[in-house]
Structure 1
Amino acid sequence: MFTIGDFARHGRVSVRMLRHYDAIGLLRPARVDPFSGYRFYEAGQLARLNRVIALKDLGFTLQQVQAIVDEEVSAEELRGMLRLRRAELEAAAAAATARLARVEARLRTIESEGRMSIHDVVVKSVPAVRVARLSTQVASFGPEDIGPVAGPLFDELCRRLAAAGVAPAGPGVQHYEDAPDGGGIIVHVAFPVARGGDHGGDHGENRHEDHGDGFEVVDLPAVPTVATIVHHGSMDEIVPTAQTLAHWIGANGYRSTGYAREVYLAYGEGDPAGWVTEIQEPVTEAGRAG
């Protein structure tokens, strides 16, 4: 028989781990001296210890390991457990691969520009939101067409909301869509508003109310994946930030799936240097259809 120290050395585990396995009933010693309390193990128990170590290495919990080695799990159940473990490991590997791609993209940026970019891009989801909005059509997506109309449109929306006694429930949002006649872009300016008589669930933009005070209320749908970047300063200087976001999307295995939303986190009539805008561009993985 082996002392606990010798058995630990043969099994390449710690004495502390063997004591823990004993305490939870996973691997009991073959004999415990009634006077000294010393634990002793038989050579044949190395097979059970090796199986425990192998199953732990696959990522199973000790509770799962014990059920398997005690043959409380059928072959079909074990296949199911292994398939689930495979799916978990594949997901972890995919996440690690994506993180590695982001690290490599940062390295390429530093190597080409000699410094770390001051703009950080975060991928996240955007929940559905009910908004009050005004809209207008412009000739193109260019800032020369959008810039002159967006500010006055926001001012008019603020005036109409105040007249209707409706308080914005969050920062202003600007979003875009192609004009139905193919003749340019629809610019929407909006503020989140309380849902009031909420019907529950996530609504698409098909919910549409023409408000009696001269604005419409719609539910902007949730967007499952957006790449976001924060712009500081005047909207007249947003193009380089948007270009940085576009470059990041292409360099990190994503592709854009539509026009970005702009969320005005800090905006007013003061110094434009203090304005803060988040650009939220919907994206999908580059190899994924849709």
Structure 2
Amino acid sequence: MLKIREFSVLSQIGVRMLRHYDKIGLLSPAYVDKSNSYRYYNEEQLLIANTIQTLKSLGISLKEIKSLLDKCNDSKYMSSYLNDLLIKRQKELKDIENNITHINSVLKTIDNSSIYSFKINLKKIPRQNVVSLRKKVNSYQEEKELFQTILREITEQDIKLQNPPYNISIYHDKEFKDANIDIEIQCSVIGEYSNLHNITFKTESPKTIISVVMQGDFDFMNGLNLAVANWLKDNHYVFAGSMYNIYHKPPNDCVGSENWLTEVCFPVEKETS
């Protein structure tokens, strides 16, 4: 048998931590001498100690490790558990990467006082024929899937698009929502068509909008919204419809976020006294 300090050296676990493992029932000595309270471990317990250290190195809590020790010999269970853990860690990593990107964007606003100097354009949009796909989705990231659906049907039905086609996302919710989001995808087309399997044909009436053309991801939105609100107040206009984006270079797997080219649009009308 091994004294606690010998076991500590071989297992590479500190004596203080071994005492803690004993206290929480994770790894207890094989024998405790009642006359002097010396703790002794079996050599076989080194394998358990190694397993604990391996699982701990994966970021698994001691409480969870305790429940896993009896299942470590079940390769099917452990493979499933570790695959789930891998998916969880990948999501956490993606969240951290997004957070780092956002921090860098905020840093740019500190370093560049002109970051919110947006050029707001007032213009009229003529009557347009469009094909449309409207659906409630769980996140804004699902816009890409809606575009893939509508473009696939456009190709299958040999629908002729305008050039440029004006890939549009309209946000119909009356308030900001981060789930169950009501999004309509439109593409401008030449000619008239019947309603198809997934998409609807319709004619959009002329409208007056204000718009801002932006390149890059959407970290600019808070500053843009402030600029739009001030423009409306200064020029005596009010909102007259749902906000929408025109994607001149839409978000997709082939185009990096720094190359996105988006026109953010707000239908407006002159304020009545």
Structure 1 length-normalised TM:
0.46
